Structure 1
Amino acid sequence: MRITDTSDLWWKTAVVYCLDVETYLDANGDGVGDLPGLARRIDYLADIGVTCLWLMPFYPTPDRDDGYDVTDFYGVDPRLGTHGDLVEVIRTAKDRGIRVIVDLVVNHTSDRHPWFLSARRSVSSPYRDFYVWRDEPPAKQANTVFPGEEASIWEKDDKSGQYYLHSFYRHQPDLNIANPRVRDEIAKTIGFWLELGISGFRVDAVPYLLEVPEGAEMGDPHDYLRDIRRFLQRRSSEAVLLGEVNLPYEEQRRYFGSDDGLELTMQFDFIGMQALYLSLVRADPAPLVTALRSRPELPVEAQWANFLRNHDELTLDKLTDDERQEVFEALAPDESQRVYGRGITRRLPGMLGGDPRRIRMAYSLLFTLPGTPVLFYGEEIGMGENPDIPGRESVRTPMQWNDDRNGGFSSAIPSRLVSQPPGDGYAPTHVNVTAQYNQDDSLLRFIRHLTERYRVSPEIGWGALEILEQDAAGLLVHSLTADVGRMIAIHNFADTPATASIDLADEPEGTRLTDLLGPQDYDEGPTWRFDIPAYGYRWLRVARPGDGRIG
């Protein structure tokens, strides 16, 4: 089903904000964030310009993998609240112009899910074929996702003597996608949450979801992804599928649906993200430019989602070994800041040495890359990680609202908190919302300004990219052109000033440039030169005669 009403393409110009309910705000003082607490912060999210709220898993769980080990796809973890509390969050968010999407984690379950508990009791269980079993593991098997934590992706079930597949942790058995009953259950799950007002899903680990067990008869698993998209659109024409697909661009293109865009609606640009960090380390935009130029062209019904940080380790797996080591040495010099041989367990401010110029340039760049920007909670205030927490959990610390005990996250005694905030220079005493909210030069105010400018610049979400070549090696100047107009962004990756040159001889006579981040207009061209400070940036609107654009 092709989308023809562009109002259903709201995600092309959205500002997405990801949070974990259990670490956002604790309303009842038990040390765990909850849905009533989140409801109290919807106005804050609206004020900073968020238009799409992405909730990490809130389902019932043993919580051995931060909620990604689900025991009930239809439930709400009682620690976090009730279905009524969730509906209140959704309703309040929609009243403020914010849509809500949720994690869809259906490539595996918890080993405590009723399906698996039944499956392992007997080989004749009606749920046995919901999972993937073998008498012996294959001689050749895929590498584990978590090297050092899991030695194999097959685990022996002592009662039946068979092995079950778990692409992730052994307590997360893979679902058998070739089983029609499993596919029916996934559809029911999607339909259930749509009925509660959800506007779509962030789909976890999509390539693993589409893995068909050896010997199973199912046909092309991408046909199943198309079925999910069709089902979704029948139930809600505006609903989105935001997929986690960390693969090379050409393989990602297939997950969009190749030429027709009828599989995933959006995908995270892991390739561009990793190239961006290499560019930051080298003070040279060339790696990022190469990635942007390598992006496959997408149909209008598809979109890239850009991010600097997410809730997992900062993966660098698509860089070469030498490139990865180069980034490691610059941004995670201590071995304890690295994980799985591929990732970094730090947030952006620490990686960039706390330099506000570099931090702001990076976020300015994020918001001007063609696609949709995605923020991880706390990025707007420059939260750091807690180095005392090992692995990727170090970036999943409580939101820092003020400088009180526990950073205003909870009134519980510190020992009862679901996670501990950092105690270093990024502690709540130094970094919190209250201190930055009315401070004109704060990072929070800066991010709020970026979201304002982004929301009146639809060229970013809809426009065609053009790289404008420059003499200075550290400069990235790119143009985005759409039916509604054109904008140009300038970013200096270097620690020295540089001069950018912009030639718009192809534009109509009388064209001016307007500074979207400041009050200045620039006279007619067709050539302009801009002195850009170290780690500086500019957003420029191409103002054609009589176009009447805002900004």
Structure 2
Amino acid sequence: MREINWLKKGVIYSIDVRSFKDGNHDGKGDFNGLLSKFDYLTQLGIRCIWMAPFYSSNQQDDGYDVTDYYHIDPQLGTMEEFRLLVEKAKANGIKIVLDLVVNHTSDAHPWFKTATGTPGSLYHDYYIWKAEKPPHDKEDLVFKTIEESNWEYEPSISAYFYHTFYKHQPDLNMTNPRVQTEVLNIIDFWMGKGIDGFRIDAVPHILRDKGDSRFSGDPYGLLGDWRRAVLEYNEHAILIGEADVEPENYPDFVQKDRLTALFNFYLNNYTFLALATQCADPLFGALKRLPLKDRRPYLNFLRNHDELDLERLTEKERKQVYAQFAPEPSMIIYDRGIRRRLAPMVDNDHRRIKLAMSLLFTLPGTPVLRYGEEIGMGDDLNLPERKGVRTVMQWSDQQNGGFSDVVPQALKAPLIREGKFSYKQVNVAIQAARPGSLLNDTQTMIYIRNKENELFAHGEFMLLNTDCDTVLAYAYYLKNEWLVAVHHFAEKTEETTLELPIHGNAAPISLIGTARSAFSNGRLIVELGAYAYSWLIIRQTP
């Protein structure tokens, strides 16, 4: 398996251009706005930008309803502005990764319009059809409380088409070789623009048999085809995937030169269970169950642009998380997840937010940071479905939070204006000027992670037993150096003793955290306050 070192050694920052910064004064984010804030990203220390879809779309699902894969939504920018963005990123050592949305298109895509409007068209088989709705028509519904069936009637041809997500997003028939070629053409087009790879949306759904469409061979082979396609342009390019599956299935996606890495939904679920129960045991057990610990092809995250999907938990465990972080029915979505950002879930307790951030930057794998998490942005539950966590970036306490200089009534993206998470209370400018703020502490964590990236990327990972069920500890070992990360999930002060296979009395060096520690003859004693965390380096004498 080809190893991509830059992915293991950096931090990915997730951006939706629509919501980041308005640069052309029309009330909506765009490429010019992103370019104007590039210094902020370099100072934060991130090494890669994952960009949400910015292709032409029907504007029904924040870009995930594509109408043209080869053109940029004109409200967001031009191809020349995108070229300047790629150029700026390369000059600053930052990679650009695009969202590849090929499980489905918009029903306004020309392929679908031709499929329904031209009898006998080749595009008809770009989608999945049935003359009659099957009896079991809800088995793979993703939006169970919104959509009623996986099959939607199309009156123009008196047939039903298949959709995994919304009814306006018909699934592509990936068993069709012509569709497979279309995907390769899309990859070829954007790799030719100088990007560094793709994040593939909804990977397990792409590889499923649907309706009467059946793969003739191993569907996972498509991932290998797409990986080879990106490597033809750039030997360091990556292909990362959204795959919310059990950890035992991870190797199916990342072995044999398939995906470079995948988003670790499983570990994400048990991180929130540990935070909710204030007990380290769930996360300790989850880490023991993870496969491929030597390679660590994981992308760890706290929140993303969707709901906090808790499908990997049992019903009992899910209820425990709901009780702490989503006590109101309006906070729960699709009967499986939470539609909130992290800060409101923990009642804006910055001790707990920083604890979660420390986990993000030290757990085995690559950290992925959603825009606004570094300042503790909130959510707007008055917005429908997932849109509550897609409010605009809050730059300052000036008009529109510094996102746009249009009059407030002309803003085309939602902004949090009221309450303790309003732009007047939570913004970059205030936190940048305040020592010990969430932003500054996050920047410090990223700086130290970058500085110690050899240990995080290539060190031998090992879980450490503790004598306290509220404390999680693990270490990375490389070339006589140990980096030990300790996290305390509860409010009561605790002292824990860790056993390390190190001889002598080397003094621990504190990288981050205020915990008191002492080391002697293989025993590391750490005293942790409420929701405390500590990163320690111990150098073993050869």
Assess same fold via TM > 0.5. yes
| 1:525 Cα deviation from its structure 2 partner | 4.3
| 1:218 Cα deviation from its structure 2 partner | 2.4
Cα contact 1:22–1:418 (8 A) shared by 2: no
User: Among residues 28, 32, 36, which one is paired with 1:32 in the alignment?
Assistant: 28
Question: Which has the higher mean CA deviation after the structures are superposed, 372-381 or 226-235?
Answer: 226-235
Is 1:291 matched up with 2:286?
A: yes
Cα contact 1:513–1:524 (8 A) shared by 2: no
Distance in structure 1 (CA, Å) of the matches to 2:524 and 2:140: 53
| Residues 97 and 207 of structure 1, relative CA distance in 2, 3 Å threshold | same
Opposite residue 212 of structure 1, the aligned amino acid is D
Cα contact 2:191–2:197 (8 A) shared by 1: yes
| Residues 315 and 368 of structure 1, relative CA distance in 2, 3 Å threshold | same
Is 1:206 matched up with 2:203?
A: yes
- Tell me the residue number matched to 1:436: 431
Distance in structure 1 (CA, Å) of the matches to 2:513 and 2:378: 29
Matched position secondary structure for 1:156: strand
Cα contact 1:43–1:96 (8 A) shared by 2: no
| 1:63 Cα deviation from its structure 2 partner | 1.2
- Tell me the residue number matched to 2:177: 180
- Tell me the residue number matched to 1:480: 476
Q: How does 1:120-269 map to 2 (within 5 A)?
A: 120-141=116-137, 142-213=139-210, 214-257=212-255, 260=256, 262-269=257-264
Deviation string 1:159-212 (CA, Å, 9 cap, x unpaired) is 110111111111111111111111111011111111111101111000111123
Distance in structure 2 (CA, Å) of the matches to 1:281 and 1:521: 27
- Tell me the residue number matched to 2:522: 526
Is 1:355 matched up with 2:352?
A: no
Distance in structure 2 (CA, Å) of the matches to 1:265 and 1:485: 27
Distance in structure 1 (CA, Å) of the matches to 2:315 and 2:13: 32
Distance in structure 1 (CA, Å) of the matches to 2:480 and 2:222: 36
Cα contact 2:517–2:525 (8 A) shared by 1: no
Distance in structure 1 (CA, Å) of the matches to 2:481 and 2:241: 29
| 1:299 Cα deviation from its structure 2 partner | 6.4
Cα contact 2:17–2:29 (8 A) shared by 1: yes
Distance in structure 1 (CA, Å) of the matches to 2:94 and 2:34: 13
Matched position secondary structure for 1:188: helix
User: Among residues 331, 335, 340, which one is paired with 2:334 in the alignment?
Assistant: 340
| Residues 217 and 513 of structure 1, relative CA distance in 2, 3 Å threshold | closer
Opposite residue 156 of structure 1, the aligned amino acid is Y
User: Among residues 368, 372, 377, which one is paired with 1:378 in the alignment?
Assistant: 372
| TM-score under structure 1 length normalisation | 0.94
- Tell me the residue number matched to 1:503: 499
Cα contact 1:371–1:462 (8 A) shared by 2: no
- Tell me the residue number matched to 1:549: none
Deviation string 1:416-448 (CA, Å, 9 cap, x unpaired) is 323222221100000000111121111110000
Question: Which has the higher mean CA deviation after the structures are superposed, 506-515 or 420-429?
Answer: 506-515
Opposite residue 489 of structure 1, the aligned amino acid is A
- Tell me the residue number matched to 2:445: 450
Distance in structure 1 (CA, Å) of the matches to 2:6 and 2:414: 36
- Tell me the residue number matched to 1:545: 541
Deviation string 1:1-32 (CA, Å, 9 cap, x unpaired) is x42xx6x4210111000010001000121111
| 1:263 Cα deviation from its structure 2 partner | 1.1
Cα contact 1:510–1:545 (8 A) shared by 2: no
Cα contact 2:465–2:498 (8 A) shared by 1: no
- Tell me the residue number matched to 1:17: 13
Cα contact 1:23–1:418 (8 A) shared by 2: no
Cα contact 1:388–1:394 (8 A) shared by 2: yes
Distance in structure 2 (CA, Å) of the matches to 1:215 and 1:444: 49
| 1:137 Cα deviation from its structure 2 partner | 2.2
Is 1:322 matched up with 2:319?
A: no
User: Among residues 391, 412, 421, which one is paired with 1:418 in the alignment?
Assistant: 412
Cα contact 2:340–2:388 (8 A) shared by 1: yes
Distance in structure 1 (CA, Å) of the matches to 2:216 and 2:36: 46
Opposite residue 422 of structure 2, the aligned amino acid is A
Distance in structure 1 (CA, Å) of the matches to 2:214 and 2:276: 46
Deviation string 1:275-334 (CA, Å, 9 cap, x unpaired) is 11111111101111111110012564x610111100001111121112111111111111
User: Among residues 267, 291, 298, which one is paired with 1:304 in the alignment?
Assistant: 298
| 1:215 Cα deviation from its structure 2 partner | 4.9
Matched position secondary structure for 1:231: helix
Distance in structure 1 (CA, Å) of the matches to 2:509 and 2:90: 33
Opposite residue 227 of structure 1, the aligned amino acid is D
Cα contact 1:514–1:522 (8 A) shared by 2: no
- Tell me the residue number matched to 2:47: 51
Distance in structure 2 (CA, Å) of the matches to 1:464 and 1:394: 40
Cα contact 2:480–2:541 (8 A) shared by 1: no
Q: How does 1:110-129 map to 2 (within 5 A)?
A: 110-129=106-125
Opposite residue 249 of structure 1, the aligned amino acid is P
Cα contact 2:300–2:360 (8 A) shared by 1: yes
| 1:524 Cα deviation from its structure 2 partner | 5.7
Deviation string 1:443-478 (CA, Å, 9 cap, x unpaired) is 110000000111122222333332211112211111
Q: Where do 5+ consecutive residues of structure 2 fail to align?
A: none
Deviation string 1:499-518 (CA, Å, 9 cap, x unpaired) is 121333x2254644211126
Opposite residue 237 of structure 2, the aligned amino acid is A
Q: CA RMSD in A?
A: 1.8
Distance in structure 2 (CA, Å) of the matches to 1:101 and 1:484: 35
Distance in structure 2 (CA, Å) of the matches to 1:338 and 1:415: 30
| Identity %, equivalent residues | 39
Deviation string 1:342-385 (CA, Å, 9 cap, x unpaired) is 11111111101111111111111111101111110000111000
Q: Where do 5+ consecutive residues of structure 1 fail to align?
A: 547-551
Is 1:471 matched up with 2:467?
A: yes
Cα contact 2:248–2:291 (8 A) shared by 1: yes
- Tell me the residue number matched to 1:368: 362
Opposite residue 247 of structure 1, the aligned amino acid is V
Deviation string 1:218-271 (CA, Å, 9 cap, x unpaired) is 2110112211112222222111111100011112221112xx4x2111111111
Distance in structure 2 (CA, Å) of the matches to 1:70 and 1:58: 9
Cα contact 1:370–1:463 (8 A) shared by 2: no
Distance in structure 2 (CA, Å) of the matches to 1:489 and 1:191: 41
Cα contact 2:18–2:413 (8 A) shared by 1: no
| TM-score under structure 2 length normalisation | 0.96
Question: Which has the higher mean CA deviation after the structures are superposed, 212-221 or 390-399?
Answer: 212-221
